[in-house]
């Protein structure tokens, strides 16, 4: 849903802001991803927040450092409008052994946070990660 090559997705372009320790993307969600007219479906927002959190692993590493989400807690603070530019951003808040915790949020241009999440992520089993090799070119995070 979030990759640039997914013709049916949001074609998010993820960038790294090393000064802020943040990964973010700017997207405009079309009306066909609504929950109610003019409002983005919560499942779409959850997927974007999860995607942002997982990409925080690319801040200090590369594709081989990708993690999987073990737990995702999402709080919807107010409706997120469709057809409106939003920023999805995430940063790592804790590292503990093989686990990483990140927080992510959806912001409107005026700074209003419409949704926030905390994700706990972990290294996937080697047999799972081995199947990701063909995805390597699609997990690019650009410098800001």
55: Cβ contacts below 8 Å, ≥ 6 apart: 14, 23, 90, 139, 141
Give SS3 for 1. Answer: coil
In a domain, 41, yes or no: yes
pLDDT at 6: 63
Sequence-separated contacts (24+) of 11-18 with Cβ below 8 Å: 12/48, 12/51, 12/88, 13/142, 14/52, 14/55, 14/140, 14/141, 14/142, 15/141, 15/142, 15/143, 15/144, 16/58, 16/59, 16/141, 16/142, 16/143, 16/144, 17/144, 18/59, 18/143, 18/144
Domain that holds residue 102: 14-125
pLDDT at 23: 94
> Which residues are 74's β-sheet partners?
117
Q: Looking at the 3D structure of the chain, how many domains does it have?
A: 1
In a domain, 88, yes or no: yes
pLDDT per position as a tens digit, 89-143:
999 999 988 899 999 999 999 999 999 999 999 988 888 877 777 766 666 666 6
In a domain, 34, yes or no: yes
User: The domain that contains 101 carries what CATH number?
Assistant: 3.10.129.10
> Which residues are 102's β-sheet partners?
92, 119
pTM score: 0.86
pLDDT per position as a tens digit, 52-99:
999 888 776 666 677 899 999 999 999 999 999 999 999 999 998 889
pLDDT at 87: 97
Average pLDDT over residues 18-30: 92
In a domain, 18, yes or no: yes
């Amino acid at each position: 849903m979030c990759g640039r090559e997914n013709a049916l997705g949001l074609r998010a372009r993820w960038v790294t802001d090393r000064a802020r320790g943040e990964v973010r993307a700017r997207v405009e969600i079309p009306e066909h991803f609504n929950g109610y007219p003019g409002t983005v479906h919560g499942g779409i927002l959850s997927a974007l927040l999860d995607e942002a959190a997982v990409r925080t692993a690319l801040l200090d590493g590369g594709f081989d450092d990708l993690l999987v989400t073990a737990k995702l807690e999402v709080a919807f603070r107010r409706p997120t409008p469709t057809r409106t530019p939003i920023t999805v951003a995430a940063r790592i808040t804790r590292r503990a052994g093989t686990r990483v915790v990140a927080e992510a949020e959806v912001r409107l241009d005026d700074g209003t946070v419409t949704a926030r999440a905390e994700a706990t992520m972990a290294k996937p089993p080697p047999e799972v990660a081995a199947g990701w090799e063909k995805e390597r070119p699609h997990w690019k995070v650009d410098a800001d």
